[in-house]
Amino acid sequence: MYRSHNCGELRMDHLGKEVTLSGWVQIGRDLGGLTFVDLRDRYGITQLVFNMDDKPELCEQARKLGREFVIRVTGTVNERSSKNPNRPTGDIEIIVTSLDILNASQVPPFIIEEETDGGDEIRMKYRYLDIRRSNVQQNLVFRSQLAIQTRSYLSDLGFIEVETPVLIKSTPEGARDFVVPSRMNPGEFYALPQSPQTFKQILMVAGMDKYFQIVKCFRDEDLRADRQPEFTQIDCEMSFVTQEDILNTFEGLTKHVFKALKGIELDDFPRMSYDDAMEKYGSDKPDLRFDMSFVDISDRVKGFDFKVLDDSEYTVAIVAKGAADQYSNKDIKKLTEWMQRPQVGAKGLINIKYLANDEVKSSVGKFYSDEVLNEWKTDVFNAEAGDMVLILTGEKEKTQKQMNVLRLEMADRLGLIKEGDFKPLWVVDFPLLEWDEESERFHAMHHPFTSPKKEDVQRMLNGDHETMKALRADAYDLVLNGSEIGGGSIRIHDRDLQSKNFDLLGFTKEEAEDQFGFLLGAFEYGAPPHGGIAFGFDRLCAVMNGQSSIRDFIAFPKNTSGRDVMINSPSNIAKEQLEELSIALDVKEE
Amino acid sequence: MYRSHNCGELRMDHLGKEVTLSGWVQIGRDLGGLTFVDLRDRYGITQLVFNMDDKPELCEQARKLGREFVIRVTGTVNERSSKNPNRPTGDIEIIVTSLDILNASQVPPFIIEEETDGGDEIRMKYRYLDIRRSNVQQNLVFRSQLAIQTRSYLSDLGFIEVETPVLIKSTPEGARDFVVPSRMNPGEFYALPQSPQTFKQILMVAGMDKYFQIVKCFRDEDLRADRQPEFTQIDCEMSFVTQEDILNTFEGLTKHVFKALKGIELDDFPRMSYDDAMEKYGSDKPDLRFDMSFVDISDRVKGFDFKVLDDSEYTVAIVAKGAADQYSNKDIKKLTEWMQRPQVGAKGLINIKYLANDEVKSSVGKFYSDEVLNEWKTDVFNAEAGDMVLILTGEKEKTQKQMNVLRLEMADRLGLIKEGDFKPLWVVDFPLLEWDEESERFHAMHHPFTSPKKEDVQRMLNGDHETMKALRADAYDLVLNGSEIGGGSIRIHDRDLQSKNFDLLGFTKEEAEDQFGFLLGAFEYGAPPHGGIAFGFDRLCAVMNGQSSIRDFIAFPKNTSGRDVMINSPSNIAKEQLEELSIALDVKEE
C-alpha cells in the first residue's frame, strides 16, 4: 500500500492515527534536532517531522532528500505547536516512523511553485514539471470540472453526446485543413475536422433532436500567440427550434457553469444587434465591463471651417472619465503615436480636455471655440469636469475599428476593469454575407449553412446583388468580457435555399455537389428546422478565470511553430512509411 | 414555436389540452372519414387524427403526406377508443386542428423501422435515414449514457479528465500510424495517437494522480469486419497504486455501469492467470458463460499403440454435453472439415460418443477398448450418458488455439449461451515478453512500458535470454463474455529498467532516445509508481448489449476499405494543398 490518505486531507480529527502518505518533497528544513519536510501531492501539502533524538538514522536519511524526490512515509498524526492557518492541513504534522524513497529526482530546471523562474520554452519542454505547479494543475482541474458541469447540464435537458468522426473529408472552403494520407486508398486523403458542422446537421436530419459533443477541432492556420492548431469546442445542435430557443438554452448553460464553478449568479444577458455593436463599440464583441461607448459626431463637427472633419465620412468620440488632468501634452503625443502604429493605422488623434478647474483645452481649439466645446460637453458627450474626449475621424469602418482599439486601451489605462467582473452579451442579427471588395465575391459571415432570417428568404432567392448585402441572418455570438466565447445560427434546411447560398458564395454546382452533396441529399429526405451553437472551450476556461491565454488551460499546447517541444513533434518519418502512403517529400529549397 | 411537447410524452393527464407537436410521418392510414398519421421523433410516436367531417381541407392535406415528411400540427389531446398498450402514448391521440408541412421527403430507399430491408452499403450511404431507426438511435443514446455513467463514477473517485493531444509523434513500434504532414515544418509529420499511453504516464509524473479520458484513438491497420481506423477508449492512469488497487477500481466501474444502465448487479469478478486461461480454455479471453473447459489427456492416451497420440506433444479434450446422440457420422465429418479449414488448421478431430443407451462409439475405438473409454468417462472427462467428447492433438500452442475455436463453436451449436448473461473475468499474470521465432526478437506482450512483477525485476536486469522468456508482468485484461474489453498494467517508472526493456525489445539507444527520450527524461525527475488501464469503449457498448458488431454503436463508421461512403471520404485534394504541405503523390501503377 502506498498511502492511507492523500497529502491534503489530514485534520485535527486524525490526531494519534497512524497514516501512510506518498508524494513529492516540496522542501526540507533541517533545524538540528528536528527535520521538517513538506510532502506534496495533487490534494495538498502535509508537514512531516523527523526527530533526531528518536530516530537518528531516519532523520539522517530525511536530511538527504532532494526537492521532488518521491517518498512514502508512515507515521502518527500530531498537533503542530505552531499552526499554519493558510494551509488546510496546517493544524497537524506527521511524526515519521518509516521512510521509503520511491524515486529520486534530479534538481528541476526551474522552481516548482506558483511563481516560477522558468521561461515559456523550458516550462513547455519539461511540461511534466510545469504541471506540478499548483496553478497549472488547478487550471486542468477547472477544465475537467467545466466539462463535467457542461455535460451534466446538457444531458439533463435531453442532449445526447454523439462522437462524430475525426477522419473526414477536405473542404477547401474556410480555413486550411490538416490532411491525412490514406494508405488503403492511394492518392486520397482524409481531413481533420475544423468543426463537426455538417455531421451535427446530419444528426438532426437523422432525428437525434438534441446533440452535443465536447470535441477536438483542427485548423492549419498560422499561429498567433493565442491560437492552437488543435482546440476544443462545446458543439451543439437542436431540432425544431427558433433562435430564441437556442439563446435561452445556452444562456442557461452559461449561467449554470458560472454558478456551479465560480459561485456567481449572472443576470439575464443583454442582447445587441450587430449594427448597434458596431455603432456603439466598433466591434462585434464589445467588452461591457465598462461603458465608454462611441459618440458619433460626424455631423456636429461640420461647418466650423475645419476641412479635415468637414470632408470626413465619419468622426467619432469617446469620453475618458477623469483623464483630462492626468494626460499631459507629452502623454497625448505618445498615445497618438501608439494609435499611428501600422497595426492600428490611425492618422491622428484629436482631444478635448474638460479640466477639473472648468477650463477647456483642445488640440482643435482654433476651429472650435470654448463656448462650442462647453456646449458639447453636456449636450453631446455627457461629460463632466475632469473628463477627456478622444476623437478619431476617417473612413467609417476603419475608424470604428481604430476607436475600438483606443477604447480598450483607455479602459486598461484608466483601470476601468474590475477583477472578477463578468459581463455577457448576445450579439444578434448578423449580416448573412460579407462582400469582399478585393476578391469581388461574397463570404459567409458565419458559415455557408447559416439561414437568412425568415423575412429575408424570398429576397435572397429572388433579389439582386445589392439586396444580398443587406440580408440578415439568424446568427448570434455569445460575448463575455470582450471575448467571443460562442457563436451559432439557425441553419438552412431546404435544398434550394442551400444551393442558392452556395451559388452566392461562388461554388459551382459541381463543387457544391462534390463537397456537400451528402448534405444537399439529406435535405431531400425530411430535414427538420434546426440550429445550433459552438463554444470555444479553451477560451471559456480562460475567460472564466480572468486569464487571457488559452495555453494555460491546455495540458500539452504547441508553440507558435506548431511544435510540441516536449516530445519534439512534428518529426521525420521513415521512407517505408512514405512509400506505404503513396506520397513523397517535395520540400522546396529556400 | 415548433412544439409544446415531444412525440413521446403525452398521456391521459393531458386530455383536453391543446398541444403542438413536430416530427416525422411514420405512416398514414386513410379510413375514409378519418385519416390517422403516426408522428415520430426521438422520444416516441403519437397518433394524429384528421376528421373528414370537421376539417375536410385539413384531412385532404393529411392524406397527401408521404413517409418521412416533416410536419408541425396543433390539436387537442383526446382519449383513444382503441388503445395501444404497446406504446407509452397509446392511450391518447391528437385531434388535429392545424397542419404545416415543414419539409417534404422523397421516398426513402429502405424501410425506416427496426427490421429494415436496407443492406449495409445503402444504410451507410444514407446513414441519416438509418439513424432514424429506433434501434440504431437507441444504440447511440446508450453510448452517450455509458459515457455519462463512466465519467460520473470516475469523477466521484477524484479522477480528472485531461485532454491529451491528437497531433503527436510517429513511433514505428506497434501498429501503423496515421500521419499528418506539417505545413509549417516542411518534410515533417505529426502522427495521430494509437493511444495516449506516454501522455498519461507524463501526467502521472506531473502529479495529476488520477487521470481519465474518453478519447479517440487511431490505427492504420487493415480492417477486419469489426475494426475501425478510429475508435474510442476509456483511458485511465493512477499514481501510487498496486495492481490490486487498479483491479478494484475498474471492477467497481464495470459493476457501476452495469447497475446503472442494465439494472444488473454483477458478482465479484473471478481472476485467472494467463497460464490457467491457456490451459483451461486455450485463450487469454475465455468466455465463461459456459464451462466446457479443456481436459489435458496427453499422458493418459499414450501407450495404446496409437502412434499419432503416442508421439504427440499435446492431446486435449472437451465434453459436448448431450451431443452424442445428435451428431451422426456425417455431422462429425462436416465438423471435422470445418476444423480443417485453413483459418483453423486442425489435422483431424477424434470423437468419443457416450450414447444415451450407454453404448460407447469412438473414431479411435480400435486403439481404445470400450472398457478403457468407459473408465475415462467419469474418471477423466466427468461425462455422462449422452455426452460427446471431442479431441484434438498436436503441437501444444496451436492445438490450444484450435480447441478454443471448437469450444466456442460447440457452445454456439449446443445453445449454451443464455441471452442476457454476463460473465466478467480478470486475466492476470501475463508474460512480460513474447519471443518471436520468426524475427528472432522479443515483443512486448502488453506494451513497452509494462513493469515486470516486483520479484522479477532483478532477474530482468541481470538474467540471461531464457530468464527473459519467463518474466511475468503486472499486466491484466478484463474479459467479458469472451471479449477483451479492457487491459492495462503497472508501468515501469525507473529509467534504467525502462532502458533495459527497450534493449530487450531491440531498440538501439538512439532509437529509444529519439522516440521516447522525453519519457526517459521524465523518469529522472521524480516519477511516482503508477499504472493504468484502457477500456475499448465501442466494444464495451456492444458487449453490454449482447451484440457482436461495434459498428452499430458508432454514429458514422467506415467500411472495410476505410471509406465513409456517406461523405465519400477519403478523397483527392487540390494540387495547391499538396504543394503547401511539401509533399507529392507517389502512387504506384498496379
Residues of B with Cβ-Cβ distance to A24 under 8 angstroms: 207, 526, 528
List pLDDT tens digits, range B70-84: 999 999 999 999 999
List, run by run, the mean pLDDT of 10-residue segments along chain A (590 residues).
97 98 96 94 97 92 96 98 96 97 96 91 96 95 98 97 97 86 96 96 98 97 84 98 98 98 98 98 97 97 95 97 95 96 95 96 95 95 97 97 98 95 97 90 92 94 90 97 97 95 93 94 97 98 94 94 95 93 88
Return the pLDDT at A224: 74
Identical fold between A135-265+555-577 and A424-534: yes
> Who contacts B353 (Cβ-Cβ below 8 Å, separation ≥6)?
B324, B325, B327, B360, B361, B362, B388, B389
Q: Which of A46-50, A135-139, B315-319, B441-445 has the lowest mean pLDDT?
A: B441-445
Query: In CATH terms, is domain B135-265+555-577 a member of 3.60.20.40?
Result: no
pLDDT band, very low/low/confident/very high, at B590 (cuts 50, 70, 90): low
Return the pLDDT at A494: 95
List pLDDT tens digits, range B83-100: 999 999 999 999 999 999
Chain A: closest CA distance from residue B495 (Å): 10
Inter-chain touch B207–A41, beta carbons under 8 Å: yes
Residues of A with Cβ-Cβ distance to B163 under 8 angstroms: 143, 216, 232, 554-555
**Mean pLDDT of all residues in B232-236:** 98
Chain A: closest CA distance from residue B577 (Å): 9
In angstroms, rounded to a whole number, what is the distance separating the alpha carbons of residues B525 and B205? 8
Inter-chain touch A3–B240, beta carbons under 8 Å: yes
Return the pLDDT at B508: 94
ipTM, 2 dp: 0.95
The DSSP bridge pattern shows strands A160-161 and B179-181 to be unpaired
- The single-letter DSSP state of residue B456 is G
Q: Which helix (H) or strand (E) holds B200?
A: helix B197-205
List pLDDT tens digits, range B46-72: 999 999 999 999 999 999 999 999 999
Cβ-nearest to B525 among A108, A166, A586:
A108
Return the pLDDT at A305: 93
Return the pLDDT at A174: 74
**Mean pLDDT of all residues in B5-19:** 98
**Mean pLDDT of all residues in B399-428:** 97
Residues of A with Cβ-Cβ distance to B216 under 8 angstroms: 163, 166, 216
Residues of B with Cβ-Cβ distance to A209 under 8 angstroms: 6, 41-43
List pLDDT tens digits, range B465-493: 889 999 999 999 999 999 999 999 999 99
Structural domain spans, chain A = 12-103, 135-265+555-577, 290-413, 424-534
Residue of B nearest to A175 (CA): B577
**Mean pLDDT of all residues in B234-246:** 98
Q: Which three cell numbers stand for residue A246?
A: 437556442
On the question of pLDDT at B227 being above 90, the answer is no
List pLDDT tens digits, range B265-302: 999 999 999 999 999 999 999 999 999 999 999 999 99
Return the pLDDT at B460: 92
Q: Which fold has domain A290-413?
A: Gyrase A; domain 2 (3.30.1360)
Q: Which CATH code for domain A12-103?
A: 2.40.50.140
Is A207 within 8 Å of B137 (Cβ atoms)? yes
Residues of B with Cβ-Cβ distance to A184 under 8 angstroms: 222-223, 561-562
Task: State the Cα angle at B185 between B179 and B187, rounded to 5°.
Answer: 60
Is B580 within 8 Å of A221 (Cβ atoms)? no
List pLDDT tens digits, range B173-208: 678 999 999 999 999 999 999 999 999 999 999 999
Taking all residues of chain B, what is their mean pLDDT, rounded to a whole number? 95
Return the pLDDT at B548: 86
Q: Quick one: how many helices (H) and strands (E) in chain B? A: 17, 23
Return the pLDDT at A223: 74
Q: Do you know the residue count of chain A?
A: 590
Residues of B with Cβ-Cβ distance to A588 under 8 angstroms: 186, 582
Cβ-nearest to A582 among B103, B141, B587:
B587
> How many CB pairs lie under 8 A apart between chains A and B?
363
Cβ-nearest to A167 among B104, B230, B579:
B230
Q: Which fold has domain B424-534?
A: BirA Bifunctional Protein; domain 2 (3.30.930)
Cβ-nearest to B586 among A69, A162, A583:
A583
Residue type, A300: R
Chain B: closest CA distance from residue A158 (Å): 10
Closest CA to A264 of A424, A33, A392: A424
Inter-chain touch A207–B131, beta carbons under 8 Å: yes
pTM of the model: 0.95
In angstroms, rounded to a whole number, what is the distance separating the alpha carbons of residues A168 and A182? 11
Task: State the Cα angle at A309 between A303 and A312, rounded to 5°.
Answer: 115
